[in-house]
């Protein structure tokens, strides 16, 4: 048996998810980019690339990795609020499909660097649409006070700037309003914001727009991952079909991360001790917040199953890791079958922002990776 803790990826779930997405966008001028930040495991990326997905990257490391795993440079969108000059130069040389530009300052620098290299950089302007996605404040990104995107009141300035920049090819607009979004209302609001912005670019500035990118953010069912492994992509894509009519020449891009990979990943961990305290019982496992930081960082809920106990009797436990921080807690007061040293626990829905956010804190090692295919 593989050394615990390890990330177990069920590629059958990933494949089913991919097929559902493909069915729902077929016949539409839609292109789904996978947000690599959610999980950069090469086998996952290869599967997505071979199914025609594009890649959404946020560092030159991700751009290089995406190309290595089979994504064509023209299918790569490169976002991020703080791209360095070196990163921009390399991405221009690699001829990526589009820079998602986050500020007026950045736009200027991209133009300058492209000019130095005698190149033309493809750009989309990331506009902050000022929409509340009603999600955790750490993962809400589309509000005016967030650091992301260009504020709507600068739209005219930025459009005239892009128009007069000889080394920029303005492709369109990019938006992203947040993550783990479970109602369609914020997306409907987003659709309504897009039309006037596009009309301004086309009618007032004579720009030729072929790219609208509505970002990612579709949420998943953390409560019932086994029963409900595939998010409601039909409802999601139908929302755009219904509320966003675009000219035929415009491709609608999506940048989904969590909804594609979260449910195919499980963190398998072994119980080292069950500690009996005065007021509670604490299950201490061999995975820590260095392997999965979501519960510590966002108070995120991940369902935990004891997959080795056959006991019909149930008890209430906290499940914690071995790291020297109280925050290293995966769950509090959960009900599990009677659990003992050596049992194996499955922490569900960790395919997104699990392994990709891991660290070596306390000089702990990376979790291994296993696949079911």
Q: Which stretch binds ligand LLP (CB under 6 A): 158-166, 225-233, 256-264, 321-329?
A: 256-264
Element (H, E) at 346: strand 344-347
Query: Is there binding between residue 295 and ligand LLP (CB under 6 A)?
Result: no
Determine, following the binding rule CB under 6 A, whether residue 35 of this chain makes contact with ligand LLP: yes
Q: Binding of ligand LLP at residue 176 (CB under 6 A)? A: yes
Task: Output the smallest distance, CB 135 to ligand LLP, in A.
Answer: 9
Least distance in angstroms from the C-beta of 1 to ligand LLP: 28
If binding is defined by CB under 6 A, does position 212 make contact with ligand LLP?
no
- Encoded one letter per residue, x for contact with ligand LLP by CB under 6 A and - for no contact, window 111-130 reads --------------------
How many CA within 13 A on the CB side of residue 321? 27
Q: Are 285 and 320 in contact (CB under 8 A)?
A: yes
Question: Binders of ligand LLP: how many residues, by CB under 6 A?
Answer: 22
- Separation between Cα atoms, residue 259 and residue 240, nearest integer Å: 16
Rounded CA separation 165/331 (Å):
53
Distance set, CA 338 to CA 280, 331, 347 (Å): 13, 16, 17
Q: What is the distance between the alpha carbons of residues 269 and 364, in angstroms, rounded to a whole number?
A: 14
Sequence-ordered list of residues with C-beta below 8 angstroms from that of 245, at least 6 positions apart, any chain? none
**Residue 217, interface with ligand LLP (CB under 6 A)?**
yes
Nearest to 110 by CA among 90, 127, 128: 90
Name residues contacting ligand LLP, limited to 338-357 (CB under 6 A): 352-353
> Given the complex with ligand LLP, which of 167 and 358 has the nearer CB atom?
358
Please identify, using beta-carbon distances, which residue of 257 and 288 lies nearer to ligand LLP. 257
Using CB under 6 A as the binding rule, whether residue 285 contacts ligand LLP is answered as no
Q: Given the rule CB under 6 A, which residues bind ligand LLP?
A: 35, 38, 56, 79, 139, 141, 176, 179-180, 215-218, 255-259, 294, 298, 352-353
């Amino acid at each position: 048996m593989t050394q615990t803790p390890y990330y177990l990826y069920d590629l059958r779930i990933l494949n089913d998810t991919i097929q559902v997405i493909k069915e729902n966008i077929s016949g539409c001028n839609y292109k789904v980019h996978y947000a690599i930040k959610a999980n950069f495991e090469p086998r996952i990326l290869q599967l997505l690339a071979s199914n025609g997905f594009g890649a959404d990257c946020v560092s030159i490391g991700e751009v290089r990795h995406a190309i290595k795993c089979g994504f064509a440079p023209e299918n790569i969108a490169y976002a991020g609020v703080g791209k360095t000059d070196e990163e921009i130069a390399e991405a221009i040389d690699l001829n990526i499909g589009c820079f998602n530009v986050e500020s007026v300052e950045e736009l200027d620098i991209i133009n300058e660097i492209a000019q130095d290299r005698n190149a033309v950089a493809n750009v989309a302007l990331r506009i902050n649409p000022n929409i509340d996605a009603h999600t955790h404040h750490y993962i809400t990104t589309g509000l005016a006070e967030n650091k992301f995107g260009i504020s709507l009141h600068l739209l005219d300035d930025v459009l005239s700037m892009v128009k007069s920049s000889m080394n920029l090819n303005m492709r369109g607009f990019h938006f992203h309003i947040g993550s783990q979004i479970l109602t369609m209302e914020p997306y409907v609001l987003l659709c309504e914001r897009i039309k006037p912005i596009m009309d301004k670019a086309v009618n007032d500035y004579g720009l030729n727009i072929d790219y609208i990118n509505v970002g990612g953010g579709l949420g998943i069912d953390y409560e019932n991952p086994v029963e409900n492994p595939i998010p409601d992509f039909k409802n999601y894509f139908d929302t755009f079909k219904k509320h966003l009519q675009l000219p035929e020449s415009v491709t609608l891009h999506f940048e989904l991360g969590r909804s594609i990979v979260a449910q195919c990943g499980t963190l398998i961990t072994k119980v080292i001790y069950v500690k009996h305290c005065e007021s509670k019982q604490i299950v201490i496992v061999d995975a820590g917040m260095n392997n999965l930081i979501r519960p510590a960082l966002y108070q995120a809920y991940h369902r935990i199953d004891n997959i080795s106990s056959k006991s019909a009797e149930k008890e209430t436990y906290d499940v914690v890791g071995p790291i020297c921080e109280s925050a290293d807690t995966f769950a509090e007061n959960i009900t599990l079958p009677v659990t003992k040293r050596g049992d194996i626990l499955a922490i569900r829905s960790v395919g997104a922002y699990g392994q990709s956010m891991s660290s070596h804190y306390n000089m702990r090692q990376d979790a291994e990776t296993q696949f079911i295919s």
